[in-house]
């Protein structure tokens, strides 16, 4: 892995330039979460690199039901967007009918779209559902079990007891997001605050999740304190991990709610540590996210202080293939770790404070979030995990759910173009049959343009301009442009004369 970038090192601190329950349908199989269908090669469970937008292949005798853990079972509802562990794969009889096998993790167009929950109003937050400012991630390496700290050639923190290289891999991911023209980060920009509860698109909202500007990684802290070391040794409870996120906020000078509005803290446990029971054979997981104000957190409930979004990131390489190792690369020791990190990062962006009831961010009626719908998708299905090329290196990430995919029916994708935005309409009025020019950004590939809900014929379109004909039955109203990346509505009304 080629690692680039520049991080300033200062002691144990590195500074970088500046809900609903995640539901898993119980099938009553050995008390585990569910059985899902993976399309596998040669009868093995796998996730492969695959071009975005590929057609779904028909199910064949190679279909393998996969048993997953139930991370939120056993009163662990605070484990939002949890990535389950793969427990086992049960070979399907050659004579088995594919129709008889439930495919509940590989979503189809019939899967309900993500809907907005209204945001969280508490502790100074008002209707806060998504990250609306430049996203910032702080990595917290929890406990002295990480060993002695050093710095690699890229300026990233390294640790003597990090044999798999998890620490630099996470820094490579977060430092690289928003660079090299990557379009994975565009997927989340279609989601927003400021729309009605239950909305499935962000037409008319100006509070979308922004595309990052290459400075997502905001800092790294090695907490080798006795409290952190004891927590890592014993296997920290959810409350201890939330407390560590709160401590990190204070460490980085974010003691008020405003400075934590668009931040997330990733608490990374050392190898061998059983963080919040992550290795449990029934309710284990690979990672989850929550906020520190969640009263249901195990071991003590909510933590005092500003409401902070955090991810519990165990030492995922310890789980091997159970958490996706080798899903993209060979041997791919870190594949599952960076995929889980990308999963929770995207879910925090789109459901930042998941304690809300009803959930504040974007989720389905079953509680699934943007990453849950696309976890463990195997090739040749669209949206499989793949290596994302960044300026800092190539990192395995997971595909994400896009409400705008498939002409608004939704689906898992590896990337999208930027969400559309309308800057102006010219002329501001005109008769039916006349030409209108819409100017803005992210307009290429428009699938539908309407004037007051009447579909207009698209004459030409580029990334910055679309020319349409005023429909024969059009009436005065706003102009709406829909692309695979989202929907935009003009601020002004086009008047039909």
- CATH class of the domain whose range is 421-496: mainly beta
Q: Give me the pLDDT at residue 192, please.
A: 96
Helix runs in 188-268, H state only: 226-234, 238-251
Where in the chain are all domains bearing CATH 2.60.40.10? Answer: 421-496
DSSP string of 34-92, one letter each residue: EEEEEE-STT--------TTPPPPPP-TTEEEEEE--TTTTT-TT-EEEEEPEEEE-PP
- Token pair 């590195």 is found at 14
Q: Give me the pLDDT at residue 49, please.
A: 33
Q: Give me the pLDDT at residue 33, please.
A: 42
pLDDT per position as a tens digit, 434-484: 999 999 998 988 889 999 999 999 999 999 999 999 999 999 999 999 887
**In this predicted model, which residue has the larger pLDDT, 87 or 485?**
87
- Residues whose CB is less than 8 angstroms from the CB of residue 190 and which lie 6 or more positions away in sequence, other chains included: 201, 202, 208, 402, 403, 404, 416, 419, 485, 486, 487
**In this predicted model, which residue has the larger pLDDT, 418 or 163?**
163
pLDDT per position as a tens digit, 181-198: 999 999 999 999 999 999
Residue 283 contacts residue 71 (beta carbons within 8 Å): yes
Torsion of CA 78, 83, 84, 86, to 10 degrees: -170
What pTM value is reported for the model? 0.79
- Beta-strand relationship, 157-159 and 149-151: antiparallel
pLDDT per position as a tens digit, 127-184: 999 999 999 999 999 999 999 999 999 999 999 999 999 999 999 999 999 999 999 9
């Amino acid at each position: 892995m080629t690692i680039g970038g520049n991080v300033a090192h200062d002691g144990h601190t590195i500074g970088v330039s500046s809900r609903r329950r995640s539901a898993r349908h119980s099938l009553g199989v050995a008390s585990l979460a569910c059985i899902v269908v993976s399309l596998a090669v040669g009868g093995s469970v796998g996730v492969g690199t695959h071009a975005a937008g590929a057609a779904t292949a028909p199910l064949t005798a190679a279909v393998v039901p996969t048993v997953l853990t139930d991370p939120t079972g056993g009163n662990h509802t605070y484990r939002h967007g949890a990535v389950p562990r793969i427990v086992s794969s049960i070979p399907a009889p050659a004579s088995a009918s594919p129709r008889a096998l439930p495919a509940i993790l590989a979503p189809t167009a019939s899967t309900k779209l993500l809907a907005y929950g209204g945001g969280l109003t508490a502790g100074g937050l008002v209707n806060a559902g998504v990250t609306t400012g430049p996203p910032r991630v702080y990595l917290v390496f929890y406990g002295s079990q990480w060993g002695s700290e050093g710095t690699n050639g890229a300026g990233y923190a390294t640790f003597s007891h990090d044999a798999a290289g998890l620490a630099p891999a996470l820094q490579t991911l977060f430092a690289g997001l928003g660079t090299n023209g990557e379009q994975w980060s565009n997927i989340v920009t279609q989601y927003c605050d400021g729309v009605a509860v239950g909305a499935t698109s962000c037409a008319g909202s100006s509070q979308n999740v922004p595309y990052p500007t290459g400075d997502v990684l905001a800092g790294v802290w090695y907490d080798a304190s006795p409290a952190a070391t004891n927590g890592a040794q014993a296997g920290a409870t959810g409350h201890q991990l939330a407390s560590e996120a709160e401590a990190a906020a204070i460490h980085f000078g974010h003691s008020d709610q405003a400075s934590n509005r668009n931040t997330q803290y990733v608490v990374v446990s050392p190898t061998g540590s059983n963080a919040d029971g992550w290795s449990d054979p029934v309710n284990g997981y690979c990672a989850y996210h929550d906020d520190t104000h969640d009263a249901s957190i195990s071991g003590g409930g909510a933590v005092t202080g500003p409401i902070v979004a955090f991810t519990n990131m165990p030492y995922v390489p310890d789980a091997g293939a159970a958490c996706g190792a080798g899903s993209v690369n060979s041997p791919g020791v870190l594949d599952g770790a960076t995929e889980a990190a990308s999963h929770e990062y995207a879910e925090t962006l789109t459901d930042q404070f998941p304690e809300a009831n009803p959930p504040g961010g974007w989720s389905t009626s079953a509680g699934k979030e943007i990453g849950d719908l696309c976890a463990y998708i195997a090739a040749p299905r669209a949206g499989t995990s793949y290596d994302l090329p960044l300026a800092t290196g190539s990192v395995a990430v997971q595909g994400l759910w896009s409400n705008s995919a498939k002409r608004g029916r939704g689906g898992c994708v590896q990337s999208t173009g930027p969400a559309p935005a309308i800057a102006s309409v010219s002329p501001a009025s005109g008769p039916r049959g006349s030409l209108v020019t819409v100017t803005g950004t992210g307009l290429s590939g428009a699938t539908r343009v309407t004037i007051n809900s009447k579909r207009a014929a698209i004459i030409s379109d580029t990334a910055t301009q679309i020319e349409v004909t005023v429909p024969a039955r059009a009436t005065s109203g706003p102009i709406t442009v829909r692309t695979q990346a989202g929907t935009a509505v003009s601020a002004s009304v086009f008047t039909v004369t």
